């Protein structure tokens, strides 16, 4: 636990066995009440860690009056149901994220079928299909779902004590992702929109919207002009230098687009074929495609598709379909 600025605590919670290692939740002090931003996985290690850190601050779950979720990925939303019960806090999230709760965490069959079809038309070989289709099902156990009491659309102000956070709708990493901006203190609570060294995963999938990378780059331009002293991200560490980091991330995606365009110069390829040919995260770059975990393969494929579709939107790439499979080629 660190008090990153007076009245705002960063409470990192463990994410065992994944390379991100932890998620940062943030606790904001009001007048005898607290706002919690994001929650961590619904698992013993994360829950115990949160409880211990609240103890250190000297508060109880019941002192939390509001919980805001930046987006409903399991690492940010997992404990929401339990914490809502324990605290009686009002749970708030963007409307679009609310609409994912049922299909991802309650009635999942429909989305799993859509995913199978999606992977199939994008060139995943039949023998790999079941594993890639089911790659995120294991995450379900880390989520205790709860519906929000407060629906956000962007533009609202969330007040607690002397803090007034403006809700910024920043679609891209997830279609209903939000950041919270405190203009007086010049603080940006960034969720997974901007991280200090990792580029957040942007994937094209049945619920992503048609051009998530385009949405993401537009959302970077929403935060870029803000006057920000300190960025409080959902992973890694607090940092400064918003504008240079935004430029770095934009350049990264441009380079990635160029690299991907190169792979389809000679012949049209499926998203899957392209994904197997390009380099991946530094952590897994040394690993050959066949040795990647199914989760990583799927993330890699969906990221590749997001790049291909963003280039299609900007007129650099065409999509052709043959034998119910989608191929991409230079325009």
What is the rounded distance in angstroms from the CA atom of residue 167 to the CA atom of residue 226?
A: 13
Min separation Cβ 201 and Zn ion, Å: 7
Using DSSP, how many helices (H) and how many strands (E) does the chain show?
A: 11, 14
Q: Residue number with the shortest CB distance to Zn ion?
A: 73
Tell the smallest beta-carbon distance from residue 310 to Zn ion (Å): 19
Q: Minimum CB separation from Zn ion for residue 233, in Å? A: 9
* Min CB(84)–Zn ion separation in Å: 20
Residue 177: CB atoms within 10 Å: 30
* Per-residue CA distances from 202 to 121, 164, 171 (Å): 19, 29, 10
**Minimum separation from the CB atom of position 72 to Zn ion (A):** 9
Stretch that binds Zn ion, among 3-11, 70-78, 92-100, 317-325 (CB under 5 A): 70-78
Work out how close the CB of 192 gets to Zn ion at its nearest, in angstroms, rounded to a whole number: 4
Q: Are 272 and 122 in contact (CB under 8 A)?
A: yes
- 29 by Cβ neighbours in 10 Å (0-12 / 13-18 / 19+) ranks as buried
By CB under 5 A, the residues from 216 to 235 that bind Zn ion are 234
- DSSP track, 171-195: -SSSTT-EEEEETTTTEEEEETS--
Inter-residue contact 79 to 45 (CB < 8 Å): no
Q: Which is nearer to Zn ion, 124 or 202 (CB)?
A: 202
Interface residue with Zn ion among 27, 41, 50, 75 (CB under 5 A) is 75
C-alpha to C-alpha distance for 141 and 279, rounded to whole angstroms = 31
d(CA 25, CA 2): 11
Q: How far is the CB of 6 from Zn ion (least distance, A)?
A: 26
Closest approach of Cβ 255 to Zn ion, in Å? 22
> Given the complex with Zn ion, which of 175 and 234 has the nearer CB atom?
234
Given the complex with Zn ion, which of 192 and 296 has the nearer CB atom? Answer: 192
Which parts of 95-124 interact with Zn ion (CB under 5 A)? none
Residue span binding Zn ion (CB under 5 A) among the ranges 65-73, 130-138, 150-158, 311-319: 65-73
The residue (of 194 and 311) whose beta carbon lies closer to Zn ion is 194
For Zn ion, the closer of residues 146 and 190 by Cβ is 190
Compare residues 132 and 178 and give the one whose CB is closer to Zn ion.
178
Strands (E), the chain: 2-5, 8-14, 22-29, 34-37, 64-68, 90-94, 150-152, 157-160, 163-169, 178-182, 187-191, 230-233, 317-322, 325-330
Of 208 and 270, which has the nearer Cβ to Zn ion?
208
Token pair recorded at residue 200: 């957040």
> What does the block give as tokens for 91?
């749970």
Grouping H, G, I as helix, E, B as strand and the rest as coil, residue 270 is coil
Nearer to Zn ion among residue 293 and residue 320 (C-beta): 293
Quick one: which segment of 33-41, 47-55, 97-105, 192-200 binds Zn ion (CB under 5 A)? 192-200
For position 73 contacting Zn ion by CB under 5 A, the verdict is: yes
Count of residues interacting with Zn ion (CB under 5 A): 4
Contact 69, 84 (CB under 8 A): no
Choose between 63 and 75: whose C-beta lies nearer to Zn ion: 75
Among 182, 192, 215, 303, binds Zn ion (CB under 5 A): 192
- Give least dist CB 222 to Zn ion, A: 17
Binding positions for Zn ion, rule: CB under 5 A: 73, 75, 192, 234
């Amino acid at each position: 636990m660190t008090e990153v600025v007076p009245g705002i605590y960063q409470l990192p919670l463990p994410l065992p066995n994944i390379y991100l290692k932890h998620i940062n939740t943030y606790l904001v002090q009001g007048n005898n009440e607290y706002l919690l931003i994001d929650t961590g996985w619904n698992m013993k290690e994360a829950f115990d860690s949160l409880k211990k850190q609240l103890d250190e601050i000297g508060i109880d779950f019941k002192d939390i009056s509001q919980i805001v979720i930046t987006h409903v990925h399991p690492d940010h939303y997992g404990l929401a149901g339990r914490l809502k019960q324990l605290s009686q806090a009002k749970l708030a999230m963007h409307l679009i994220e609310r609409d994912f709760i049922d299909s991802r965490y309650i009635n999942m069959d429909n989305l799993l079928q859509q995913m199978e079809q999606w992977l199939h038309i994008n060139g995943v070989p039949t023998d790999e299909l079941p594993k890639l289709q089911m790659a995120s099902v294991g995450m379900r156990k880390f989520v205790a779902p709860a519906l929000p009491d407060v629906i956000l659309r962007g533009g609202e102000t969330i007040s607690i004590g002397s803090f007034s956070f403006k809700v910024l709708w920043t679609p891209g990493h997830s279609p209903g992702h939000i950041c919270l901006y405190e203009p007086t203190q010049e603080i940006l609570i960034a969720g997974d929109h901007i991280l200090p060294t990792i580029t957040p995963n942007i994937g094209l999938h049945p619920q992503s919207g048609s051009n998530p990378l385009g949405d993401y780059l537009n959302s970077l331009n929403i935060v870029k002009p803000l006057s920000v002293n300190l960025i409080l991200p959902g992973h890694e560490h607090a940092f400064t230098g918003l504008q240079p980091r935004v430029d770095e991330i934009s350049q990264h995606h441009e380079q990635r687009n160029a690299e991907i365009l190169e792979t389809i110069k000679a012949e049209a390829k499926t998203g899957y074929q392209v994904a197997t040919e390009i380099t991946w995260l530094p952590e897994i770059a040394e690993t050959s495609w066949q040795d990647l975990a199914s989760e990583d393969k799927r993330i890699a494929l969906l990221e590749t598709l997001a790049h291909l579709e963003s280039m299609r939107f900007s007129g650099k790439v065409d999509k052709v379909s043959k034998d119910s499979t989608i191929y991409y080629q230079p325009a």
